[in-house]
């Protein structure tokens, strides 16, 4: 099936087929649920390009996620130079960039989001706290949304009006997901000396982010409610994408609902442990969407 996906994506050259296969293996290793959803629920012709975009995003994050802020900024500068060189020459010594260049050739919107994403990474390598909702919104607009759009743009509708709705839905979806990330990773982030939960909300509740307590429980519930509102609004995505993409979008939103439920259950315990959706529930959701997709294509 993978060879068929490469064929339908128009990837004929032996080296590029090996490159895309390498990105597929990488995504399957670090993003198992997302990989399964893409393979099961997206049209075959789109899957290699999704793998290329996700692999690039992960590779970038991995390169800039270690060391001091200065070291991370230097790593980003070096990486940005390699990315721009690959686009300028149409080739690279790195398989992940060779795939990215080819995917951007087939899907030109990708190039613009690569640039936005790299610019947003400048904020990612330096942030230590999020002061308030305005700063969280800025973080989402500058970094989180371009990161999502690297892949989401592959599913975007052609019609201008529908595309505007689609981008807005993606914004609401990723804002919800970013809140989940900051809550799920709270204990790890605090140990690293930073927190993505808005500081004014922490102060308003009088929460101690280092240990469970009633105030932290109220803070988590508030943040979960805000994320839940965005998640409900993001359901508009299923109304504007092509029918063949809807099962994937529905599964993606469904997994985020599972994350929301897990955060609510964890409550104040996020101070001491990470949370996440139960794997069996996510698997059942994917199977249901796969079965529904199969019925629609008969």
Q: What is the CA radius of gyration of the chain?
A: 19
Task: Note the pLDDT of residue 36.
Answer: 86
Whether residues 107 and 229 share a domain: the answer is no
Whether residues 122 and 162 share a domain: the answer is no
Whether residues 189 and 292 share a domain: the answer is yes
**Mean pLDDT over the full length of the chain:** 92
CA distance 291 to 268: 37
Among the candidates 109, 126, 143, a domain finishes at 126
Whether residues 297 and 160 share a domain: the answer is yes
Query: The domain containing residue 113 runs over which residues?
Result: 1-126
| Tens of pLDDT, residues 225-274 | 999 999 999 999 999 999 999 999 998 898 889 889 999 999 999 999 87
What percent of the chain shows pLDDT beyond 70? 92
CA pseudo-torsion sign 39, 43, 44, 46: negative
From 66, 40, 59, 51, select the one nearest 17 (Cα to Cα). Answer: 51
Tokens 């390598």 map to which residue? 125
Whether residues 170 and 263 share a domain: the answer is yes
Q: How far is CA 106 from the centre of its chain?
A: 21
In a domain, 144, yes or no: no
Whether residues 197 and 111 share a domain: the answer is no
Among the candidates 87, 109, 126, a domain finishes at 126
CA distance 222 to 277: 19
In a domain, 132, yes or no: no
In a domain, 134, yes or no: no
In a domain, 269, yes or no: yes
CA distance 186 to 173: 20
Provide the CATH number for the domain around residue 277.
1.10.600.10
From 61, 53, 60, select the one nearest 99 (Cα to Cα). Answer: 53
pTM score of the predicted model = 0.92
Whether residues 122 and 161 share a domain: the answer is no
Task: Note the pLDDT of residue 35.
Answer: 85
In a domain, 150, yes or no: no
Copy the structure tokens of residue 154: 């592959």
From 230, 210, 224, 236, select the one nearest 265 (Cα to Cα). Answer: 224
| Tens of pLDDT, residues 165-175 | 999 999 999 99
Task: Note the pLDDT of residue 205.
Answer: 97
Among the candidates 126, 148, 174, a domain finishes at 126
Give the residue-averaged pLDDT of 126-136: 93
* CA-to-CA dists, residue 105 to 11, 55, 161, 237, angstroms: 12, 17, 24, 25
Whether residues 181 and 266 share a domain: the answer is yes
H or E element at residue 240: helix 237-240
In a domain, 173, yes or no: yes
pLDDT category, 121, cuts 50, 70, 90?
very high
| Tens of pLDDT, residues 54-113 | 999 999 999 998 888 899 999 999 999 999 999 999 999 999 999 999 999 999 999 999
| Tens of pLDDT, residues 268-297 | 999 998 776 666 555 555 666 666 655 555
| Tens of pLDDT, residues 23-60 | 999 999 988 877 888 888 999 999 999 999 999 999 99
Whether residues 97 and 209 share a domain: the answer is no
From 169, 146, 180, 166, select the one nearest 53 (Cα to Cα). Answer: 146
| Tens of pLDDT, residues 201-221 | 999 999 999 999 999 999 999
Structural domains of the chain, count: 2
pLDDT category, 147, cuts 50, 70, 90?
very high
CA distance 144 to 175: 8
């Amino acid at each position: 099936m993978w060879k068929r996906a490469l064929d339908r994506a128009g990837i004929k050259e032996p080296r590029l087929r090996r490159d895309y296969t390498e990105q597929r293996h990488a995504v399957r290793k670090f993003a198992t649920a997302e990989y399964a959803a893409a393979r099961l629920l997206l049209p075959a012709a789109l899957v290699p390009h999704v793998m290329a975009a996700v692999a690039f995003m992960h590779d970038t994050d991995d390169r800039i996620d270690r060391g001091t802020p200065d070291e991370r900024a230097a790593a980003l500068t070096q990486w940005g130079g390699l990315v721009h060189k690959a686009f300028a020459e149409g080739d690279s010594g790195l398989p992940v960039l060779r795939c990215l260049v080819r995917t951007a050739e087939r899907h030109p919107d990708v190039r613009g989001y690569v640039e936005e994403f790299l610019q947003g990474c400048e904020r990612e390598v330096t942030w230590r706290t999020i002061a308030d909702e305005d700063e969280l919104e800025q973080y989402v607009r500058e970094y989180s949304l371009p990161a999502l759009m690297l892949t989401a743009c592959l599913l975007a509708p052609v019609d201008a009006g529908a595309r505007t709705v689609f981008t807005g839905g993606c914004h609401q979806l990723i804002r919800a997901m970013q809140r989940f990330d900051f809550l799920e990773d709270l204990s790890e982030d605090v140990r690293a000396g930073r927190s993505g939960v808005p500081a004014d909300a922490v102060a308003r509740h009088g929460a101690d982010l280092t240990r469970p307590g009633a105030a932290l429980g109220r803070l988590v519930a508030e943040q979960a409610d805000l994320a839940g509102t965005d998640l409900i609004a993001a359901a508009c995505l299923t109304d504007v994408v092509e029918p063949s993409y809807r099962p994937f979008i529905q599964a993606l939103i469904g997994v985020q609902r599972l994350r929301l439920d897990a955060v609510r259950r964890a409550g104040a315990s996020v101070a001491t442990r990470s949370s996440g959706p139960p794997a069996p529930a996510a698997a059942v959701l994917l199977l249901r969407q796969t079965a529904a997709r199969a019925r629609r294509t008969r």
